Structure 1
Amino acid sequence: MEYMVFISCLIATILITPLVKRFAIKIGATDQPNDRKVHKKVMPRLGGMAIFMSFLLGMLIFFPNSTYTIPVLIGGIIIIVTGLADDLFDISPKLKILGQLLATSVVIIGGVQVEFINLPFGGQLEFGYFSIPITILWIVGITNAINLIDGLDGLAAGVSSIALLTITGMALTMGNTFVVLVGLMMLGSTLGFLLYNFHPAKIFMGDTGALFLGFMIAVLSLLGFKNVTLFSFIIPIIILGVPISDTLFAIVRRKLQNKSLSSPDKSHLHHCLLNLGYSHRQTVLIIYAVSALFSIGAVIFSQATLFGALAVLGLLILMIELIVEFTGLVGVEYRPILNMVKGYKTRK
């Protein structure tokens, strides 16, 4: 059944995307080039509708029997409406956040929240009243993190596919049928769209797709690893290391520059790699590789002993720091480790 779920959604997206592309052009739902964007010509967007439509088709055909099914569907529809409104009418950031909060509230009411974690040396850490704020912060944060990396052809779709593959695979080993089925629907839908979205892209997913992907990944990662051990709680953070890191450093960068947190810039990871001379396709493939490394790290982390898990976490943090310094993600002046290595070589 799992293969049928994946293949059905994959084929559905491949067939639906050209129809969505023609519709987007017809109604003028296009992305105009400007000094902040990389593309140089007018591009149809709303590609996220193809992802959602094939996912919805999968849900209707293979309807996973779970108490989470209806809340996740309703939350997803609210997110799609929010993204669609932004792609068509360019709504304010406040309205976008409002839509995300509404969708998040629906899934929380439906039971999607982290209530406690089991501690490594026995006992539980109950979140109590903090359960809902933590869940909101996670879902809204990941939703916007995926949206923020949607800056190059195929980037958000590819990174999301890697995350979905990892979450689904780990859910399969844990026997979490709902996450496996929904994860495969999302994976098939996203990969089908990626055929049209990889450089040079024929269509963009727009906020419709980026917000929907981020929302579904956030929800699935919570359902896959909620109410488990302290270290398992870290797994989804590792899997989504690239978008989370890019978002966190964007916040740091804007704070240092005294800019609004919602103000756009051209200093995200993909912009930095382009500035270093990498081509559009090379930049996307490099970020895919880094995302894959994080996912592999998450799998090793989940199987390791306490010492091994801490070692993996330390190596991943070091990798993030080196990427930040090498690319100038925070600023070209910030290079403490690289400068230290350079100084050591000079003295030698």
Structure 2
Amino acid sequence: MASLIVTSVILSLSLALVLVPFVRFTARKIGMVDRPDAERKLHQKPVALGGGIAVFVAATASFALTVIIDRWNGTATLGYMQPQWHILYFAAACMLAVGLIDDVFSLRGRQKLLMQCLIIAVIVGSGTIIDSIGLLGFEIELGVFAFPITVLWLLIAVNALNLIDGADGMATTAAIIICVGLGVLSLAGGAALNAVVAFGLAGALLGFLCFNRPPATIYLGDAGSMTIGLLIGVFAIWSSVKESTVLASAPVAILAIPLFDSSAAIVRRWLTGRSLYATDRGHLHHLLQEKFGPYGMLLVVAVLCSSTTILAVLSVTFDLPWLAAAGVAVVLGVLVYTRSFGHAEYRLVLGRGMNFAKSFATRSHSADNAKLHTRIPIQGSGNWDAVWDQLVEFAENHELAKIRIDLNIAWLQEGYHATWKSVRQPEKAFKLVVKLPLFTRRQSDGEQASIGILEIVAPAIDNTVYERIADVSNKLVELVPQIDAIIVDLEANQSAKRKAVAAQQDGLSPVDKTAPTDSIPVSHS
């Protein structure tokens, strides 16, 4: 068995090392590249897409060759392929095609989600169903919820890998460790074929990492990240030690880091009022790269994923189901406690809970005068409190029912969210809700850029409400110079930081040499 795993890894690694340069050359030739922009994609030059094609072909070919070698030797160690394998690879090929279309034509979020659901429905309809969930040694039967829960799990897996694919080598590093962990669990459960495929996928990703490490020359693209996420999600179900219809805690623990990142993104967008499809630079890789640099970020991610994976494997080895959950809790707790990631989301949840409790405890006769107020710097160092304090004072003086600001300045990695409102809000028929976009002028290109939104709610009991709206507009005009000044300071700090990092990479101090910023590997989404 060990020889087959080694064979699978060597074959997939070798094929990836050959295929990736070819795919990269072809992608550049036909213009299938990820182009930088001024707001979110901050890499300095176009980078080839399509890395997922090379990874998928290398992993699939190595799987087929390993099975042929096993049959040729007459051992049949891997057994015979069940129909579910054919369906899985068909679905994976379809997911790859959807990802390629998205990479080239940029599908809308809902269009991509619909295609993902259809592909996943094919897999679930073929018999890959989570009948029960293993939690701390107990099994929870899902009954009629088995189908939707399985679809939801695979959707989460697909998009979790897709969301963390935003920095050079990030998704690739995490996926390698996850595949190795799932391969070990498959071996422990006697699923030889699963193990060979999982290790083979890890080998293909390892070969791809040689070209995807900072500074990357090719990206997985949505085609790669979604396909790998689908395969990993299915392997997590199939790798259960007990039976392939149980989603155990160990496989989930192995995927803890990407799952935490995607969960935090959903919480962050939901509690700030943004669309779930909105993009920002508040993901795990963005914050870790800002704190530790591109290579430091990869090291931290590798340590985090390895920690949860090792503890998950140990929990199965020693039959201690609680160990996987406890390990995940500790790892995620360290991230939040050190404010490396998740602290802003924790504060958003805490703030929402405290406001709910205060509102619930407020007596009816004092509800008109009671106010709820939260302000949360999500990321960055801009002095947004100074702007917000003036808006709150304005709201109090003009008897507004609510004022909310949400800033999402992706190109500066700045985020700020604050809400001030009365406990008792006006009835729906007697309130005016206005959402005003906020803008600034980028110093880098002189273009106007959206930085967030200001929402106001005013009692609409007479025509004086129109005067309040006009007053709000005038107040925003008054605040524009202050907002622009904050942006200028932030852009200056960012420029100085990049030059310092570039100079350090060249072995010189910032005083000795001003290095070009295009030498700095940066995240691409």
TM-score when normalising by structure 1: 0.88
State the distance in 1 between where 2:228 and 2:319 align: 32
> 1:180-209: per-residue Cα shift (whole Å, max 9, x none)?
121122111111111111112111111111
Q: Which amino acid aligns with 2:30?
A: I
> 1:223-275: per-residue Cα shift (whole Å, max 9, x none)?
11186599971111110111000011111111221111111100001111233
Correspondence for 1:322 among 322, 334, 346: 334
State the distance in 1 between where 2:241 and 2:274 align: 35
The unaligned stretches of length 5 or more in structure 1 are 338-348
Cα pair distance change 1:121/1:305, threshold 3 Å = closer
Alignment-derived partner of residue 192 in structure 2: 177
Give the superposition deviation at 1:119: 8.3
The unaligned stretches of length 5 or more in structure 2 are 68-77, 351-525
Specify which structure has the higher proportion of strand: 2
Specify which structure has the higher proportion of helix: 1
State the distance in 2 between where 1:155 and 1:120 align: 30
State the distance in 2 between where 1:267 and 1:305 align: 37
Give the superposition deviation at 1:162: 0.1
Q: Equivalent residue of 2:207, what SS?
A: helix
1:154-193 to 2 correspondences below 5 Å: 154-193=169-208
State the distance in 2 between where 1:127 and 1:227 align: 16
Correspondence for 1:221 among 236, 240, 249: 236
1:158-307 to 2 correspondences below 5 Å: 158-225=173-240, 228=243, 233-276=248-291, 278-304=292-318
Correspondence for 2:124 among 93, 108, 122: 108
Q: Which moved more, 1:34-43 or 1:46-55?
A: 34-43
Correspondence for 1:58 among 62, 67, 81: 62
Alignment-derived partner of residue 94 in structure 1: 110
Q: Equivalent residue of 1:334, what SS?
A: helix
Give the superposition deviation at 1:314: 3.2
CA contact (8 A) 2:285 2:297 kept: yes
Alignment-derived partner of residue 128 in structure 1: 143
Cα pair distance change 1:126/1:46, threshold 3 Å = same
CA contact (8 A) 1:46 1:206 kept: yes
Give the superposition deviation at 1:38: 4.1
CA contact (8 A) 1:232 1:302 kept: no
Q: Which amino acid aligns with 2:20?
A: T
Correspondence for 2:85 among 29, 52, 69: 69
State the distance in 2 between where 1:324 and 1:120 align: 23
Give the superposition deviation at 1:146: 0.4
> 1:95-126: per-residue Cα shift (whole Å, max 9, x none)?
2112211221222122211123578888x643
* Percent identity of equivalent pairs: 28
Cα pair distance change 1:275/1:111, threshold 3 Å = same
CA contact (8 A) 2:237 2:246 kept: no
State the distance in 2 between where 1:249 and 1:257 align: 12
CA contact (8 A) 2:55 2:205 kept: yes
Q: Equivalent residue of 1:279, what SS?
A: helix
Q: Which amino acid aligns with 1:18?
A: P
Q: Which amino acid aligns with 2:326?
A: G
State the distance in 2 between where 1:222 and 1:178 align: 14
Give the root-mean-square deviation of aligned CA atoms.
2.6
Give the superposition deviation at 1:71: 0.8
State the distance in 2 between where 1:143 and 1:120 align: 25
State the distance in 1 between where 2:305 and 2:145 align: 30
CA contact (8 A) 1:116 1:227 kept: no
1:15-94 to 2 correspondences below 5 Å: 15-34=18-37, 35-63=39-67, 65-67=80-82, 68-94=84-110
Give the superposition deviation at 1:300: 2.1
Q: Which moved more, 1:111-120 or 1:232-241?
A: 111-120
> 1:44-72: per-residue Cα shift (whole Å, max 9, x none)?
11111101111232243334622221111
State the distance in 1 between where 2:13 and 2:199 align: 9
The structure whose Rg is larger is: 2
Q: Equivalent residue of 1:91, what SS?
A: coil
Give the superposition deviation at 1:20: 0.2
CA contact (8 A) 1:238 1:298 kept: yes
May I ask how many residue pairs the two structures share in their alignment?
Answer: 333
State the distance in 1 between where 2:162 and 2:137 align: 38
Question: Which gives a bigger RCO, structure 1 or 2 (Cα 8 Å, sep 6+)?
Answer: 1
State the distance in 2 between where 1:74 and 1:335 align: 41
CA contact (8 A) 1:253 1:330 kept: no
Alignment-derived partner of residue 340 in structure 1: none
CA contact (8 A) 2:268 2:345 kept: no
Cα pair distance change 1:336/1:47, threshold 3 Å = closer
State the distance in 2 between where 1:288 and 1:121 align: 28
- Which 4+ stretches in 1 moved above 6 angstroms? 118-122, 229-232
